[in-house]
């Protein structure tokens, strides 16, 4: 099945009261693991790259070819969206041309009027090629590829203005952060989430960034209130590293050809498959392909 835009997938999720997982990939094994999990659970899936991860892997075009070729070689039949996560303006335009089917232009660190102006331009260029667009209002706490946000509650009027640019889904600050959550984290601001959902309309898919580490009951409540796309990265990174560390600490890399990268990385890949399946079940997107 060819790559698809995120527009219809997230509209369906918003209407159906479930969320589709947006999982960052960092290499071949991660991409294989995410696709394997989605196929196993018959779930639509969004694979996304940060700007830095795409550069690490060899560039946006390489990522497009890798994902497309894996879909073919692995006989993947579920809908797959390829998305740029937290993209600068120039990177969003580059991904539109490279073959990504969805992009996030993150201008949340800019003055709002400039963010809005650039968002309109990205939407126009993306939609002309059938590419879906995500934009952000209110910086998300933590750091993502050099874009640092202190974490805030998105301004509701700005959310409405951003949706009016024609974007397909909206990322909005509701107390969420990137990376590991501190012990004193106050939790998601559900009253604010409800106010945003009411203001932008019940058919607009909302995006929850920093999905790693949020308690399941809070994720499920957020989905019931309009969150249709949930980003997960740190959680998979931690599982990947833990599984490989245990393999090495057990001395398995010293047994026979246990040092072979295919064997060395296999436990990490298996951990991501397990985690992705678990998140698909949490999000309610199993059998929604």
Identify whether 289 is part of a domain: no
Residue corresponding to tokens 């949930």 = 230
Q: Which residues of 139-173 are buried (b: 16+ CB within 10 A; e: fewer)?
A: bbbbebbebebebbbbbbebbbbbbebebbbbbbb
- The answer to whether the CB of 174 falls within 8 A of the CB of 153 is yes
- Give domain status of residue 83, yes or no: yes
Rg (CA), the chain: 18
Is 231 a domain residue? Answer: yes
What pLDDT, on a 0 to 100 scale, did the predictor assign at position 195?
96
The structural domain count of the chain equals: 1
Residue 252 located in a structural domain: yes
Convert the pLDDT of each residue in 197-241 to its tens digit.
Answer: 999 999 999 999 875 677 788 889 999 999 999 999 989 999 999
Q: With contact defined as beta carbons under 8 Å apart, do 142 and 179 qualify?
A: yes
User: From residue 109, how far is each of 91, 116, 188 by CA, in Å?
Assistant: 16, 12, 21
CATH of the domain at 116: 3.20.20.70
Question: Residue 213 to residues 179, 218, 240: CA-CA distances in angstroms?
Answer: 8, 10, 15
Q: At 113, list the tokens.
A: 């009027």
pLDDT at 128 over 60: yes
Identified catalytic residue from 69, 85, 155, 157: 85
Annotated active-site residue 85? The verdict is yes
pLDDT in tens, 161-177: 999 999 999 998 887 66
Give the lowest-confidence range in 42-51, 111-120, 177-186, 262-271: 177-186
Q: What is the pLDDT of residue 151?
A: 53
**pLDDT reading at 148 higher than 90:** no
The answer to the question of residue 124 being in a domain is yes
Q: Name the one residue in this structure whose structure tokens are 């409405």.
A: 160
Q: Is the pLDDT at 46 greater than 90, yes or no?
A: yes
Q: How far is CA 97 from CA 26, 73, 163, 191, 219, in A?
A: 21, 24, 23, 39, 34
What is the mean pLDDT of the segment spanning 137-150?
A: 53
Say if CB 188 and CB 223 are below 8 A apart: no
Q: What is the pLDDT of residue 189?
A: 83
22: enclosing H helix or E strand: strand 20-24
Question: For 59-63, 117-121, 153-157, 247-251, which range has the lowest pLDDT when averaged over its residues?
Answer: 153-157
Q: What is the pLDDT of residue 150?
A: 41
Handedness of CA 30, 32, 35, 41 (dihedral sign): negative
**Local confidence band at 145 (pLDDT 50, 70, 90 cut-offs):** very low
Assess if residue 1 is contained within a domain. no
Task: Give the pLDDT of residue 165.
Answer: 97
Residue 221, pLDDT score: 94
**3-class SS letters over 35-97:** HHHHHHCCCCEEEEECHHHHHHHCCHHHHHHHHHHHHHHCCCCCCEEEEEEEECHHHHHHHHH
pLDDT at position 184 is: 60
Q: What is the pLDDT of residues 68-107, one digit of tens each?
A: 999 999 999 999 999 999 999 999 999 999 999 999 999 9
- Mean pLDDT across the stretch 127-150? 71
| pLDDT at position 177 | 67
Of all helices (H) and strands (E), which one includes residue 117?
A: helix 112-127
Which pLDDT score, from 0 to 100, does residue 185 have? 57
Asked whether residue 288 is assigned to any structural domain, the reply reads no
Residue 76 lies in a domain: yes
Q: Give the domain range for residue 178.
A: 7-283
Q: Is the model's pLDDT at 7 over the cut of 70? A: yes
Share of the chain above pLDDT 90, in %: 81
pLDDT at residue 141 greater than cutoff 80: no
Q: Which pLDDT score is estimated for 173? A: 83
206-208 vs 45-49, strand pairing mode: unpaired
Number of residues in the chain: 289
Q: Which distant-in-sequence residues (6+ apart) come within 8 Å of 163 by Cβ?
A: 170, 200, 201, 204
Across all residues in the chain, what is the average pLDDT?
92
């Amino acid at each position: 099945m060819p790559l698809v835009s995120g527009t219809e997938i997230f509209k369906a999720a918003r209407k159906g009261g479930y969320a589709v997982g947006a999982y960052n990939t960092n290499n071949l094994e991660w991409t294989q693991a995410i696709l394997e999990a989605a196929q196993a659970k018959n779930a639509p899936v969004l694979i996304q790259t940060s700007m830095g991860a795409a550069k690490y892997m060899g560039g946006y075009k390489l990522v497009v070819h890798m994902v497309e070729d894996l879909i073919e070689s692995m006989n993947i039949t579920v809908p797959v969206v390829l998305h740029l996560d937290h993209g600068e303006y120039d990177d969003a335009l580059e991904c539109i041309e490279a073959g990504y089917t969805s992009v996030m232009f993150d201008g949340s660190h800019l003055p709002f009027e400039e963010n809005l102006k650039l968002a309109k331009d990205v939407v126009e260029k993306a939609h002309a090629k059938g590419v879906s667009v995500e934009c952000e209002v209110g910086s998300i706490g933590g750091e993502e590829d050099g874009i640092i946000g202190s974490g805030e509650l998105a301004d509701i009027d700005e959310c409405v203005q951003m949706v009016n640019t024609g974007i397909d889904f909206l990322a909005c600050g509701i107390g969420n952060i990137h990376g590991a959550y501190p012990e004193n984290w106050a939790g998601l601001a559900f009253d604010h989430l409800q106010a945003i959902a009411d203001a932008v309309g019940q058919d607009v898919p909302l995006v929850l960034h920093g999905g790693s580490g949020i308690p399941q009951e809070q994720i499920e409540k957020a989905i019931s209130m309009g969150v249709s796309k949930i980003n997960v990265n740190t959680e998979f990174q931690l599982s990947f590293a833990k599984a490989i560390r245990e393999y090495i600490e057990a001395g398995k890399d010293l047994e026979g050809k246990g040092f072979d990268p295919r064997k060395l990385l296999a436990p990490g890949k298996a951990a991501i498959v397990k985690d992705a399946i678990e998140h698909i079940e949490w999000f309610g997107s199993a059998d929604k392909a």
